């Protein structure tokens, strides 16, 4: 026997009404093709996605301002002003930018940009930049008087016919970088609501990310420019004393010891030759640095005459031989192979390996050994500089090749700059640098450079 249905009739009626309402809303959603997430429609998300792509392409603050104004007018507003915080604008050399959807209101557009003058405290954009809180609503006479700077400006604002406005902060990581003003006029009939403020705030947030990136780029470019100027001045000042050193060395070599007779004369002659070679290499480095600073690091360096890799190593050994003898350290070159050409020019290779040899001689005590080896692999050549010094402490092994490393020993003569220079040179050519314990005790630094 079926159980009697004792459900209240009023509940049945409410259930039918709710079902009909849900069905109607579902049909309405399917008809209008609207799907909302976090208050944004698909059209809003599409607009934000396109905005992110356009903002990412902006390479400077001026391009960023143009992109923002092009995105906003006329899709979101009839009139838009992007103002950057005065301190940041002064650092970037930027001024406020504005755009309007109607060409006949160009006089108002020009009059509404304050230029380098600061906004009055009563201006909504100034309040937003101070508080970081959005401001929006319908435009009435009181709001017009707050914005207008004088009677003529007020007349132009009335001619534009604003009906609704909103100002949102352009903020990043709790720091307000500027403000973005949206104005709707009677010609478009827009009325800004809370959902519009949310969309404008999201656009301003993405613009703040792009603005911060552009500001960092401008700061980095300025630092690079200052560095190039410093390099050019330093290189120029080094050329004159270096020329004097080279001239004196040539005079001593030609007239000091014409025909060495004793072992002491031979040693002095070899040291003078090594000093002259080091001075010539230093002059090439100074001239190369000066040329790079003048050209801005853009032009390709002039082609150098190609020298065999083995010859470059032999020249380095000959250059450091007087220092090794003075330190009573044995310096030798071990290679019996024909080394192929590598993807690193002569001066750069000598500079990288010279830093390793210089460090090895500094840390090797008297009676020790420094051995330079070169070995050809399948598509690369590996250069190794092994010493018999005290080795590397366990604390320094993890951070030895990091940019900020310095020896923890107070008496250590090295600052870690030579290793950073060598690493920069080698990695720029597609190679790598590392170290390992030396078979004779001490440390063996290796450099791998690809072949051509």
pLDDT digit string, tens, across residues 190-217 = 899 999 999 999 999 999 999 888 888 8
**Statement to judge: residues 216 and 78 lie in one domain:** yes
**227 is a domain residue:** no
Q: Per residue in 392-445, pLDDT tens?
A: 777 666 666 665 545 555 434 444 567 777 888 888 888 888 888 876 678 889
**Statement to judge: residues 201 and 321 lie in one domain:** no
**381 is a domain residue:** yes
**2 is a domain residue:** no
Q: Per residue in 351-379, pLDDT tens?
A: 888 888 888 888 888 889 999 988 888 88
Are 35 and 174 in contact, with CB atoms under 8 Å apart? Answer: no
Structure tokens at 50: 């396109």
More confident residue, 380 or 336: 380
How many Å separate Cα 309 from the centre of its chain?
35
Q: Check pLDDT > 80 for residue 50.
A: yes
Q: Per residue in 101-122, pLDDT tens?
A: 666 555 555 555 544 446 667 7
pLDDT on residue 37: 44
**Statement to judge: residues 77 and 204 lie in one domain:** yes
pLDDT on residue 200: 92
Q: Residues of 196-218 as b/e, b for ≥16 C-beta within 10 angstroms? A: bbbbbbbbbebbbbbbbbbbeeb
Where does the pLDDT of residue 169 fall: very low under 50, low under 70, confident under 90, or very high at 90 and above? very high
Are 96 and 82 in contact, with CB atoms under 8 Å apart? Answer: yes
pLDDT on residue 36: 39
**Statement to judge: residues 65 and 198 lie in one domain:** yes
* Residue that finishes a domain, picked among 173, 194, 221: 221
**339 is a domain residue:** yes
For residue 423, the domain's CATH number is 3.30.565.10
**25 is a domain residue:** no
What is the DSSP code string of 170-184?
A: EEETTEEEEEEEEEE
**199 is a domain residue:** yes
Q: Per residue in 149-159, pLDDT tens?
A: 778 878 878 88
Which pTM was predicted?
0.52
pLDDT on residue 5: 46
Q: Per residue in 286-302, pLDDT tens?
A: 777 776 666 654 444 44
User: If you average pLDDT over every residue of the chain, what do you get?
Assistant: 76
* Residue that finishes a domain, picked among 197, 221, 245: 221
**243 is a domain residue:** no
pLDDT on residue 209: 92
Domain that holds residue 136: 42-221
More confident residue, 39 or 147: 147
* Residue that finishes a domain, picked among 188, 205, 221: 221
119-121-126-132 Cα dihedral, nearest 10 degrees: 160
Q: Check pLDDT > 50 for residue 2.
A: no
CA distance 414 to 402: 15
**Statement to judge: residues 213 and 341 lie in one domain:** no
What is the total count of domains within the chain?
Answer: 2
CA distance 321 to 450: 28
For residue 187, the domain's CATH number is 3.30.450.40
**354 is a domain residue:** yes
Q: Per residue in 228-271, pLDDT tens?
A: 777 777 777 777 787 788 787 777 777 766 666 677 777 777 77
More confident residue, 259 or 59: 59
Alpha-helical segments (H) within 256-372: 263-295, 309-326, 346-363
Looking at residues 64-75, what average pLDDT do you find?
88
pLDDT on residue 395: 67
Nearest residue to 377 via CA among 447, 450, 284, 328? 450
**Statement to judge: residues 358 and 211 lie in one domain:** no
Structure tokens at 420: 């950073």
pLDDT on residue 270: 74
**Statement to judge: residues 317 and 203 lie in one domain:** no
CA distance 131 to 122: 13
Nearest residue to 386 via CA among 318, 333, 319, 342? 333
């Amino acid at each position: 026997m079926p159980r009697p249905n004792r459900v209240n009739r009023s509940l049945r009626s409410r259930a039918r009404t709710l079902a009909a309402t849900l069905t109607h809303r579902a049909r309405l959603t399917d008809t209008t093709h609207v799907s909302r997430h976090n208050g944004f429609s698909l059209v809003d998300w599409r607009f934000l996605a396109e905005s992110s792509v356009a903002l990412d392409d902006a390479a400077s603050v001026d391009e960023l301002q143009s992109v923002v104004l092009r995105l906003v007018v006329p899709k979101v507003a009839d009139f838009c002003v992007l103002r950057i915080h005065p301190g940041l604008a002064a650092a970037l050399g930027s001024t406020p930018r504005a755009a309007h959807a109607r060409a006949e209101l160009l006089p108002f557009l020009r009059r509404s940009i304050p230029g380098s003058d600061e906004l009055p405290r009563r201006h909504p954009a100034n309040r937003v930049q101070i508080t970081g809180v959005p401001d929006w609503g319908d435009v009435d006479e009181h709001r017009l008087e707050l914005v207008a700077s004088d009677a003529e400006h007020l007349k132009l604002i009335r001619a534009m016919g604003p009906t609704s406005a909103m100002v949102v902060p352009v903020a990043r990581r709790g720091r307000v970088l500027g403000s973005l003003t949206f104005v709707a006029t009677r010609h478009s009939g827009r009325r800004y609501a809370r959902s519009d403020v949310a969309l404008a705030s999201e656009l301003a947030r993405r613009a703040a990310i792009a603005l911060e990136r552009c500001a960092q780029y401008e700061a980095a470019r300025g630092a690079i420019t200052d560095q190039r100027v410093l390099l050019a001045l330093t290189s120029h000042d080094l050329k004159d004393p270096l020329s004097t050193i080279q001239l004196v060395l040539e005079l001593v070599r030609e007239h000091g010891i014409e025909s060495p007779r004793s072992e002491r004369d031979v040693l002095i002659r070899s040291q003078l030759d090594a000093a002259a070679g080091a001075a010539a290499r230093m002059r090439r480095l100074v001239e190369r640095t000066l040329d790079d600073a003048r050209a801005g690091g853009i032009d390709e360096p002039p082609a150098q005459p190609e020298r065999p890799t083995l010859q470059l190593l032999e020249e380095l050994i000959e250059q450091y031989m007087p220092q090794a003898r003075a330190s009573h350290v044995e310096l030798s070159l071990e290679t019996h192979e024909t080394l192929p050409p590598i993807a690193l020019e002569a001066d750069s290779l000598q500079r990288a390996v010279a830093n390793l040899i210089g460090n090895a001689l500094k840390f090797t005590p008297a009676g020790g050994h420094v051995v330079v080896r070169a070995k050809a692999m399948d598509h690369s050549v590996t250069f190794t500089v092994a010493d018999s010094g005290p080795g590397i402490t366990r604390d320094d092994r993890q951070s030895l090749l990091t940019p900020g490393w310095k020896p923890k020993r107070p008496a250590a003569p090295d600052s870690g700059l030579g290793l950073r220079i060598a690493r920069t040179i080698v990695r720029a050519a597609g190679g790598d640098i590392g170290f390992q314990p030396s078979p004779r005790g001490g440390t063996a630094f290796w450099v791998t450079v690809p072949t051509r």
